[in-house]
């Protein structure tokens, strides 16, 4: 079977781990021919090219800038993306008949391309729903239902619907995601919507000298270390995090490490520069190997979601915590189930992302024994529910029907 993967996020480092790359490698390992199309942004100043990486044919298409640029430039680039992808596919994958098309959101703007390829190839289409856009941007005030931003919102609602319409099946990250989609888009056939969580190919985590690693990073050896890693943008409630860090300075026993990059990182940099906290450390975005080592030296992970969200989110970063065998404390909105699932399965704690004292109390209340027990439960849950093999089999059940 020939599988085509379309994304603006890219497949990632196929020699390492990633939710898309691991799924494609699993298809490859089951004997399927895998093709992927990634954008190669204009800023990189590289031409369109096709290459074989770890047995996956990756078509890197020269496009406009899609990240780290202004909203107008990003919008124009997304509008041109379908035509650029289609032209490159017709030129470089001519003669290839695709049986299955996989594509994640974001964006919602590839529905027209998916529909055209579906008709031409008779392929099955499977959407990996990784965010619910544009509602998430409406929640955070980045879009509006009125004015000029209202025009953008209505346009993206149309592209969202087109993407759902062209999808034979939709895999959601969690039960709350699935339920939200079915309830808020009742015209979608609920039978084609299922839970297909973020997943990885499991691997053993490296042994580390915790004391030496903490000493190198300037983290106290005897503190209970709570680590956040990943995007530091508007969805991650960075203002809440800063208030937590400030409040924690007057307490004892808990130390926070924050590693990542994003549009709101500058707020953290300003806080660390101005107030120089002694019970927190701000780190850059770490390579996966270094971040995994940091997690092995940590006692618990941290999940952050802005309290304004009305759509359920399920950050892929939790896979790193579960794989490392550490639990997490989730400060979230009321819609997401990333925290309630952790509590139900025994590998985490949830609080609202508006209650800084309660968040710190939750961190302080976890004993070393509880942290170890919950971490082991998380690793078991990961191996039973969040593997790329599990995601692969869910998709293939539809192919084989």
Query: pLDDT per residue over 352-391, tens digit each?
Result: 999 999 999 999 999 999 999 999 999 999 999 999 999 9
Total-model pTM: 0.92
Q: Do 101 and 2 form a contact (C-beta atoms < 8 A)?
A: no
Rg (CA), the chain: 21
- Of 145-149, 173-177, 205-209, 211-215, the least confident: 145-149
- Distance between CA atoms of 49 and 225, rounded to whole angstroms? 44
Tell me, what's the pLDDT at 71?
62
Q: Which residues pair with 225 in a beta bridge?
A: 255
Instruction: Tokens for 93, please give them.
Output: 């994958």
Pairing of strands 254-261, 280-283: parallel
The torsion defined by the Cα of 23, 28, 32 and 35, in degrees rounded to 10, comes to: 70
Q: Express each pLDDT in 268-289 by its tens digit.
A: 999 999 999 999 999 999 988 8
Q: Which band of pLDDT confidence, cut at 50, 70 and 90, is reported for residue 136? A: confident
Measuring CA to CA, which residue among 391, 33, 398, 372 is closest to residue 202? 391
Top pLDDT among 143 and 217 is at: 217
pLDDT value at 66 more than 70: no
User: Does the N-terminal peptide bond of residue 107 adopt cis geometry, omega within 30 degrees of 0?
Assistant: yes
* pLDDT tens per residue, range 81-116: 788 899 999 999 999 999 999 999 877 778 899 999
Per residue in 206-253, pLDDT (tens digit) is 789 999 999 999 999 999 999 999 999 989 999 999 999 999 999 988
């Amino acid at each position: 079977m020939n599988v085509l993967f379309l994304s603006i996020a890219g497949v990632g480092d196929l020699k390492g781990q990633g939710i898309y790359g691991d799924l494609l490698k699993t298809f490859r390992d089951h004997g399927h021919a895998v093709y992927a199309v990634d954008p190669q942004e204009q800023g990189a100043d590289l031409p369109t090219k096709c290459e074989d990486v770890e047995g996956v044919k990756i078509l890197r298409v020269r496009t406009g800038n899609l990240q780290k640029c202004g909203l107008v430039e990003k919008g124009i680039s997304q509008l041109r993306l379908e035509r650029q992808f289609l032209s490159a596919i017709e030129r470089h994958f001519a003669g290839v008949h695709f049986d299955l098309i996989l594509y994640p959101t974001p964006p919602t703007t590839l529905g027209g391309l998916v529909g055209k390829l579906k008709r031409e190839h008779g392929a099955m289409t499977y959407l990996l729903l990784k965010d619910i856009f544009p509602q998430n941007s409406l929640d955070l005030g980045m879009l509006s239902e009125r004015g000029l931003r209202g025009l953008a919102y209505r346009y993206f609602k149309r592209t969202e619907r087109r993407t759902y319409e062209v999808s034979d099946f939709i895999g959601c990250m969690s039960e709350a995601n699935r339920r939200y989609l079915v309830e808020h888009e009742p015209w979608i056939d609920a039978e084609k919507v299922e839970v297909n969580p973020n997943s990885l190919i499991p691997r053993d985590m490296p042994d580390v000298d915790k004391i030496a690693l903490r000493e190198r990073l300037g983290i106290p050896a005897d503190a209970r270390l709570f680590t956040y890693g990943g995007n530091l943008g508007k969805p991650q409630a960075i203002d809440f995090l800063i208030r937590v860090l400030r409040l924690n300075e007057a307490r004892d026993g808990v130390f926070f490490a924050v590693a990542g990059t994003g549009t709101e990182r500058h707020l953290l940099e300003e806080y660390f520069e101005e107030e120089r906290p002694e019970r927190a450390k701000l780190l850059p975005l770490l390579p996966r190997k270094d971040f995994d080592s940091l997690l092995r030296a940590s006692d618990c992970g941290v999940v952050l979601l802005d309290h304004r969200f009305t759509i359920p989110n399920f950050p892929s970063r939790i896979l790193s915590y579960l794989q490392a065998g550490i639990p997490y404390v989730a400060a979230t909105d009321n819609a997401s189930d990333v925290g309630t699932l952790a509590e139900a399965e025994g590998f985490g704690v949830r609080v609202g992302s508006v209650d800084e004292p309660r968040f710190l109390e939750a961190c302080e209340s976890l004993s070393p024994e509880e942290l170890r027990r919950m971490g082991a439960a998380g690793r078991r849950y990961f191996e039973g529910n969040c593997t790329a093999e599990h995601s692969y089999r869910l998709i293939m059940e539809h192919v084989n029907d």
